[in-house]
Structure 1
Amino acid sequence: MKKILSVVLLIMGILSTVVFGKDNSLEKIKEKGYFTVGLDATFAPMGYRDENGQIVGFDVDLAKEVAKRMGVEVKFKPCEWDGIIFDLRSGNIDMVWNGMTVTPSRAKQVLFSQPYLANDQVIFTRKDQGTYTIDDLSGKVVGVQLGSSGAMAVENSKVKNDIKDVKKYSTNVEALMDLEAGRLDAVVMDEVSGNYYNQKKSTLNSSVEQLSKEEFAVALRKNDNSLTDEINKQLADMKIDGTYEQIKIKWFGK
């Protein structure tokens, strides 16, 4: 009798977990009619403010299209990149969709969507300096964004103990401006964003050698499985019907 009672209690416990622990993240988004995307609004071309102060970018267009297909709206909330995962986990935003690199340390804190874009961490220098390799960072002053994949790449590089100083900035743009002004010898950051910044100015070189090869994905809260599944589904559909490629060409060309 005791054995039967134990089995019954175990089954009831499992059913209770299924019923009360059910993931309703997608349902919540559909009920309120929108989801909030956290982003660094200086990270062109992924998400940034244009000359009219509007938030635009590759990730912005992807998020808008996914929201439209889900039948909801999307709101964009600028955040400090170094604290953006805290904003996500505390409920201030529903996801981070802003060229976030998938890393093992981040994967312990967030649930990532399927990767949607490849990226490299490279070294940017001024034209008059030539092109740097990783070894050339020895004895140099290097700029990175706080909490960024560039900062992680420098920390994990073979020359980390030989770098003269690593200066950390709130945004990559601030670091690049200091590089152009001669206050830095190099900036380590995303190739996608750095090249976009340099398109009009052409004042910088980017290294052929990568500090790391990476992939971008959308970051959500650990338990938001149904919302993550929906985003994966919509992105997959957009790739099949060609919408993803159209948005990619708009921002990066062919």
Structure 2
Amino acid sequence: MFLFILLFLVGCGTGSDDSSSSENESDGSTKDKWVVGTDATYAPMEYMDSEGNIVGIDIDLVEAIAEELGKEVEFKNIGWEPLFPAVDNGEVDFAVSSITITDDRKESFDFTDPYYVANQVILVSEDSSIKSKDDLVGKRASVQINTTGHQVLKDLMGATSADIVASETMPIAIEELLNGNVEASVGDNSTVNEYIKNNPNVNVKLIEDNSFEKEYYGLMVKKGNSELVEELNKGIQAIKDSGKLKEITGFDVE
């Protein structure tokens, strides 16, 4: 009888612990601190300053949302390609990294409301004859791998085209142009414009083609985590209403 009672009590204790553990699982919305992943190679949106800090427009945006919602935030410089599995496996609560909201990505991840508008541009040497994206056909062009710019080149040249040089980061893609390995580099306007601003002596020019579609950045969250998406959207709306979003990004997103 004593052994029976002992086993009964142990069994009850185990069931109680499991229930408590399940109830304490967090979706990120109830956390006091968010861990946020990024690829800090995309100035001015996210990059490393001279002291090794992760800074940029995207970083300021998340910090403003966190302040509005009373959260602490820690940023992790994970890199572009590893960023997606890091969100999916819960290594980070969400990602901010100039991530364009696309139908393809929405199949695997959830996104907040958009907070930034961008478009693709073309960077070429000053003496280049390239005037539009159609002129890229038959020429070698560099781009950051698995970005919307990469998809633009695939649609234009073919998914398996040997003329597409897919680089790990946008700075490396631009280096391919400067080193003469490609005739053009395609990337988001914010990043390419920032490069030109910071390198006024480099002999390059910017090509803007109105046929490039507008792209909308959002915060990327694990699929199904609607509670966190809802909370982040509240934060985005709050800093939009206060004027902080426009102060950070330079404009409001309708």
For this structure pair, what is the TM-score category when the shorter chain's length is used for normalisation? 0.7 to 0.9
| Conservation of the 8 A alpha-carbon contact between 1:37 and 1:95 | yes
Distance 2:238 2:151 in 1: 33
- Using the TM superposition, give the Cα deviation of residue 179 of structure 1 relative to its aligned residue in structure 2, in angstroms: 0.8
Instruction: Check 1:163–1:126 CA distance in 2 against 1; reply closer, same or farther (3 A cut).
Output: farther
| Conservation of the 8 A alpha-carbon contact between 1:24 and 1:226 | no
Give the secondary-structure state (helix, strand or coil) at the position aligned to 1:156. Answer: helix
Distance 2:69 2:163 in 1: 47
* Counterpart among 178, 187, 190 of residue 189 in structure 1: 187
Distance 1:96 1:130 in 2: 38
| Conservation of the 8 A alpha-carbon contact between 2:40 and 2:79 | no
Is 2:139 the counterpart of 1:137? no
The CA deviation string for residues 19-66 of structure 1, in whole angstroms up to 9 with x for no partner, is: x89x9524442xxx2111111111111110012211110000011111
The CA deviation string for residues 115-172 of structure 1, in whole angstroms up to 9 with x for no partner, is: 1111112221122215531221122111111111111111122x43796511111100
2:225 maps to: 224
Structure 1 segments (4+ residues) deviating >3 Å: 159-164
* Counterpart among 172, 186, 191 of residue 174 in structure 1: 172
| Conservation of the 8 A alpha-carbon contact between 1:102 and 1:217 | yes
* Counterpart among 198, 219, 243 of residue 196 in structure 2: 198
Which segments of 5 or more consecutive residues in structure 2 lack a partner in the other structure? 1-21
Stretch moving more, 189-198 or 125-134: 125-134
The CA deviation string for residues 177-231 of structure 1, in whole angstroms up to 9 with x for no partner, is: 1211212111111111111111121333222214332111111011211111111
Number of aligned residue pairs: 227
Amino acid at match of 1:105: D
Correspondences of 1:25-44 after superposition (within 5 Å): 25-29=27-31, 33-44=32-43
Amino acid at match of 2:163: D
Which segments of 5 or more consecutive residues in structure 1 lack a partner in the other structure? 1-19
Distance 2:140 2:26 in 1: 48
Distance 2:52 2:111 in 1: 29
Give the secondary-structure state (helix, strand or coil) at the position aligned to 2:218. Answer: strand
- Using the TM superposition, give the Cα deviation of residue 103 of structure 1 relative to its aligned residue in structure 2, in angstroms: 0.8
2:107 maps to: 108
Instruction: Check 1:162–1:100 CA distance in 2 against 1; reply closer, same or farther (3 A cut).
Output: closer
Rg: which structure is higher?
2
1:87 maps to: 86
Distance 1:150 1:109 in 2: 19
| Conservation of the 8 A alpha-carbon contact between 2:154 and 2:161 | no
Report the TM-score, using the length of structure 1 for normalisation: 0.82
Distance 2:159 2:53 in 1: 41
